[in-house]
């Protein structure tokens, strides 16, 4: 993808989400249920979600993860910045 200048943005669920991670997308936008399928443990706090997003983003070399939480907002990670659904920066 990078050789052509194309960007890969993904909004899908398992098993397609798991399969596309091998292509190192620029952005994935899973919801909490979809992301928990990748990470396995229940992510029931901002701290756990931020840590899981950091870990998966680093391991899979994904440009950005925007984890949507419905009415709870989102948890996002891009490079070295994380934002939680309540707007706090970590």
| Structural domain boundaries in the chain | 2-83
> In the predicted model, is pLDDT for residue 7 greater than 70?
yes
> In the predicted model, is pLDDT for residue 1 greater than 60?
no
Confidence of residue 87 (pLDDT cuts 50, 70, 90): low
**pTM of the complete model:** 0.82
- Determine contact, residues 67/53, Cβ cutoff 8 Å: yes
- Determine contact, residues 4/41, Cβ cutoff 8 Å: no
In this predicted model, what pLDDT tens digit does every residue of 27-69 receive, in sequence order?
999 999 999 988 878 999 888 998 999 999 999 999 999 999 9
> In the predicted model, is pLDDT for residue 18 greater than 80?
yes
Altogether, the residues listed in the chain come to a count of: 90
Query: Cα 85 vs. chain centroid, distance in angstroms?
Result: 13
Question: What pLDDT is recorded for position 73?
Answer: 85
């Amino acid at each position: 993808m990078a050789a052509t200048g194309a960007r890969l943005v993904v909004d899908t669920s398992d098993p397609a989400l798991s399969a596309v991670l091998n292509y190192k997308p620029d952005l994935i936008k899973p919801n909490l249920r979809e992301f928990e399928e990748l990470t396995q443990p229940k992510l029931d706090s901002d701290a756990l979600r931020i840590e899981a997003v950091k870990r998966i983003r680093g391991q899979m070399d994904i440009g950005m993860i925007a984890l949507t939480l419905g009415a709870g907002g989102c948890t996002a990670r891009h490079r070295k910045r994380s934002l939680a659904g309540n707007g706090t920066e970590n």
